[in-house]
Chains A and B, each alone.
Chain A
Amino acid sequence: MSNTITIDGNTVPFEDGQTIMEAATAAGVYIPHLCHHPEFTPHGSCKLCTVNVNGRNCSACTFPAMEGQNVLNNTRELTDDRRKITQMLFVEGNHLCPGCEKTGNCQLQAVAYHLNMLDNHFPHFYPSRELDASHAEVMIDHNRCIFCTLCVRASQQKDGKDVFAISGRGLNKHLIINSQSGLLKDTDLEATDEAAHICPTGAILIKRTGYQVPIGERIYDHKQIDQVSLETEHPRHGE
């Protein structure tokens, strides 16, 4: 067997055990994503990576590549769906980019730019969420959390700790901190932990590092996330 799939009509090889996302990335095809990160077990929660496989929509980051798959990725319809999903992520939290240190470096914002999202479309929830600045070096602003669980996975899988978890469902879903007080200062999180740096949004920030790079000169100010993502996330490429 040749082990190939097609993505938007182009032949893409895959290795057994690879997901559609992994096969695509290795072949230099960008599939928009937020909760996927090549170093961690896929989580499949943000649905931004939705592709159409032989007529059915599924998440590219969790779906195994299999012989005979015709995958649609870059279509008008999927782009529209992904824009709607991104708009929902924006109205579900509180994303006031002009006042956010992550602006220009934020993957949520970058995906929105990439999808040419000009408005939030839906009514805003304006949920009431906390800011935890108790830790000496790391702060967490829950207003900007999109529940991608990357900090949860990074803490467990990379740092060998267990600082974060997701609790509750649906509208009540929220990120919790594993300490008696529920505060970041009472965990063993350190500023050098992967979990402190993995957040795709401005929810987890390192203190006293703000605005070192001026707005206008940041990662996504002039470069689209598809390019950045393929340059930096190629699994085991360029090693």
Chain B
Amino acid sequence: MASKIRVATTSLAGCFGCHMSFLDIDERMLQLAEVVEFGRSPINDIEHCTNCDIGLIEGGVCNSENVHVLREFRKNCKILVAVGACAINGGLPAMRNFIPLEECLAEAYLDGIGVENPQIPSDPELPLLLDKVRPIHEVVKIDYFLPGCPPSADVFWKFLTDLLDGREPSLSYELVHYD
């Protein structure tokens, strides 16, 4: 048997909704598992992305760690895919782009309702926030885009089966949604 296609997935500045929607392919996951094995993914807790064929990225980039992870994926995946509204245009996290970062932090950690022991977290382990949330194509080259908030399970299925069967992936009108 030919070796399996390796798929890695991650959620950057996303809500894991895209991952949940991917899992909504339900029993088709078994079919997929016959030809696919997972590299780094929240599904299996593998920590680093090595030598993968397909990388699925949920979420935009909002902090320095997101940028590192995204670059690791780009380096180690032959095909990199922007999955969902946030990866494609920043999505709802990008709504903070219109408020200066300092004001965001002050509202969340200093002045907000119910804040106790007000202080801006500054542990060196915490990744630094970017001044704006950015879509991932502004940081690395992206090969394919799956729009939707989240893309439906059928979008994942159509895209992956197209790729696995050697067809150029395409999404019909019914599968393209931004909401």
Contacts and interface: CB of A to CB of B under 8 A. Distances in A.
A116 B176 contact: yes
Interface in B75-104: 82, 85, 88-92, 94-95, 97-98
14 contacts: A94-B98, A96-B85, A97-B178, A97-B179, A99-B95, A103-B178, A114-B173, A118-B171, A119-B137, A121-B137, A124-B89, A124-B134, A126-B132, A224-B173
Contact of B85 (A94, A98, A123): A98
B145 to A, nearest CB: 4
A215 interface: yes
Contacts of A94: 94, 98
Contact of A97 (B85, B132, B138, B142): B85
Contacts of B146: 118
B178 A98 contact: yes
B86 to A, nearest CB: 9
B147 interface: yes
Contacts, number: 72
A113 B97 contact: no
Interface of A: 90, 94-100, 103-104, 109, 112-114, 116, 118-121, 123-124, 126, 128, 215, 221-222, 224
Given A103-B178, A118-B176, A124-B134, A98 B91 contact: yes
A119 B147 contact: yes
Nearest to B87: A119
Interface in B119-160: 132, 134-135, 137-138, 142, 144-147, 149
A99 B170 CA distance: 26
Interface in B53-85: 82, 85
A186 to B, nearest CB: 25
B174 interface: yes
Contact of A96 (B91, B132, B173, B174): B91
B147 A118 contact: yes
Contacts of B147: 118-119
Interface of B: 82, 85, 88-92, 94-95, 97-98, 132, 134-135, 137-138, 142, 144-147, 149, 170-171, 173-174, 176-179
A124 B91 contact: no
Contacts of B89: 90, 95-96, 120, 124
A104 B135 CA distance: 23
A116 B82 CA distance: 16
Given A97-B179, A99-B95, A119-B82, A113 B149 contact: no
Contacts of B91: 96, 98
A99 B82 contact: no
B137 A109 contact: no
8 nearest A-B residue pairs (beta carbon): A97-B178, A98-B149, A119-B145, A118-B145, A103-B179, A126-B97, A97-B179, A98-B179
Contacts of B178: 97-98, 103, 109, 112
A98 B17 CA distance: 13
Contacts of B145: 118-119
B78 to A, nearest CB: 19
B94 A126 contact: yes
A128 B98 contact: yes
Given A103-B178, A119-B142, 10 more contacts: A95-B89, A96-B85, A96-B94, A98-B92, A98-B179, A113-B173, A114-B173, A119-B137, A124-B90, A126-B97
B90 A113 contact: no
Nearest to A215: B179
A121 B88 CA distance: 9
A170 to B, nearest CB: 21
A121 B141 CA distance: 11
Contact of B176 (A90, A113, A121, A126): A113
